[in-house]
Structure 1
Amino acid sequence: MKYIKIHKEGRLILLMLLFILFSINIFIYLRFPNFLFALTTIVSGGIMVFLTYFFRNPTRVVEIDDPSLIVAPADGTIVAVEEVEEHEYFGDKRLQISIFMSVFDVHANWYPVAGKVLMARHHKGRHVAAYLPKSSHENERSTVVIETEAKTQILLRQIAGALARRIVTYAHAGRPCHLNEHLGFIKFGSRVDLFLPIDSEVYVQVGEETTGNETILARLNE
C-alpha cells in the first residue's frame, strides 16, 4: 500500500493546521446549521489534502558513475539557459540554468553534485514572481557555493517567489555534500538557479520539465 511521505518541514505546519481546522469545524457544528458545517468540512478537507500533497517527500536515489554530471536540484520547469554575469561570488561570466517550481511541484531541494560546501549565505529581499529574471537578485534567497571533487566550483541559489515566505537551507560552509541528500526546502512556489562554468555542456532547454535528483542538467568540463 502506497502512502505519502511528509517532509519534515511540513509536519508541524500540518499538525497545527489540523488542530485549527478541527476546532473551527467543531465550533460551526455546535453553532450553525448543518449545511454550513458540511461546507466547512469539505473546504477543510481540501486544504489538508492540498498541503499534504505540497509537503510530500518522495524517495529518489540517483546512481551515476560520472562525478562531473549536474543533477537537477529541484522539480519544475526550465525557464532560463543563458550566459550571465554572476556578481555575488564569482564576479565573471557563468552559464545559468533556472528551474521554476509551481505550487504543484515537490519543493524539496537536493544537492546537484557531490563535494564540499564553500559558502552558504541567506539574503533578505522582495517576493516578486519567481519566474521573472530579476527575482534572482531581488528576492529573498539563499546562495550555496559547492566545490566538486575535481575542484570545480558551482553556485546554487534558492529563490523565494511571490507566495514563498521561507527558504530553508541545510548547507553549511566547510561541510561535505553528497548526491541524494536534501540541500533544503522552499515553501510555496519558488525557483532554483544554477551557475556553472561557461564551458559546461548543457543537456536541457527552456520549457523542459525536471525531476529533482533524477534529471541530468549538464556536464562540467573536468
Structure 2
Amino acid sequence: MSLVPRSVREAIHPVHRAGWPFIAITLALALVLGLLWGPLFWLLLILAGWMLVFFRDPTRVSPNAPGLVISPADGRVEPLVTVVPPAELGLGPEPRQRISVFMDVFDCHINRAPVAGRIAKIAYKPGKFVSADLDKASEDNERNGFVIDTAEGHRLGVVQVAGLVARRILVWTNEGALVAQGERIGMIRFGSRLDVYLPEGSVVLVAARQRAIAGETVLAHLPGAAPLPPYPVRVD
C-alpha cells in the first residue's frame, strides 16, 4: 500500500523523456554559473522547474463513444473558421471547418491523435515563427501536418503549427501507422497551436475561448456516426 495519498500521486505527472536533456543541462548550468554569480543559480533553478511543468506527460482517458473528435492539445480554443486546408495535406480545394487549440508555455505540449485511424500522410513545411495565437500563423508558420483516415471512411487533417518561441516540431509516428484515439503522436517546443480540419458535415461541440484537454475534451462529432444524446440547454 502506498504511503502517498492517491490525490497527490495523480497530481504529480511524469516528465516525458524528450524533456530530460533540457532539464539536466539547465541544472548543470545552475550549479556551474551559480558559483560565479549566486542569483544565476536561483534563476536557472526556476527555469528547470518550469521545464518540469512544460514537459509533463499526464495520463489521459478518451471518451468511449463512436464518431467523436477529441482535442489533440491542451490549450485555448481559438475562434472557429471555415478555410481551405494547407495544400500539402492533399485534402482538396474545398473549405473545411477548422478548430484551432492554442498552447501557451504553461500548457502540456504532448500532442495526441484526435481520432483512431491510419496515418495516410505526414507533410512538413518550413515557414516563419510569428505568434501562434494569430490566425495567419496557420498559413505562414513552420508546420507539420497529419492526414488521418478513420475506419468509417472519414479523412481529417491535423496540423502542428510552430509559434513565436517554438523552434522544434517532434513527430512520434509514421505514414501508414495505425493510431488509437488519444495516442501520443508528437509535441512542439515551446508554445504553439494545433489545427484540426474536419470532414464536411461534422458538428462542432466547442466554443471559442473554451479550455481544451488533450485526449479528453470532445471537439466535434463526425457525420454519419450514431447520434449523441440530447443535452440540457442553459437559458440565461
- TM-score, scaled to structure 2: 0.86
1:14 aligns with 2:3: no
Is the 2:29–2:44 Cα contact (8 Å) retained in structure 1?
no
C-alpha separation in 1, matches of 2:184 and 2:200: 26
C-alpha separation in 1, matches of 2:32 and 2:174: 40
Alignment map for 1:1-222 (pairs within 5 Å): 1=4, 2=9, 3-26=12-35, 28=36, 36-37=37-38, 39-66=39-66, 68-88=67-87, 89-91=90-92, 92-222=94-224
Deviations 1:72-122 (A, max 9, x none): 000000113121122412121211000110001100000000010000111
C-alpha separation in 1, matches of 2:182 and 2:22: 25
C-alpha separation in 1, matches of 2:13 and 2:45: 16
How far is the alpha carbon of 1:42 from its aligned partner? 2.0
C-alpha separation in 2, matches of 1:198 and 1:219: 11
* Amino acid in the other structure paired with 2:81: E
C-alpha separation in 2, matches of 1:23 and 1:98: 42
SS in 2 for 1:119: strand
Gaps of 5+ in 1: 29-35
* Amino acid in the other structure paired with 2:201: D
* Amino acid in the other structure paired with 2:34: N
* Amino acid in the other structure paired with 2:91: F
Is the 1:80–1:99 Cα contact (8 Å) retained in structure 2?
no
Structure 1 vs Structure 2 CA RMSD: 1.3
Counterpart in 1 of 2:229?
Answer: none
Count the aligned residue pairs.
Answer: 212
How far is the alpha carbon of 1:192 from its aligned partner? 0.4
* Amino acid in the other structure paired with 2:105: V
How far is the alpha carbon of 1:4 from its aligned partner? 3.5
SS in 1 for 2:84: strand
Gaps of 5+ in 2: 225-236
Q: What percent of counterpart residues are identical?
A: 33
C-alpha separation in 2, matches of 1:104 and 1:93: 32
How far is the alpha carbon of 1:198 from its aligned partner? 2.5
C-alpha separation in 2, matches of 1:45 and 1:16: 11
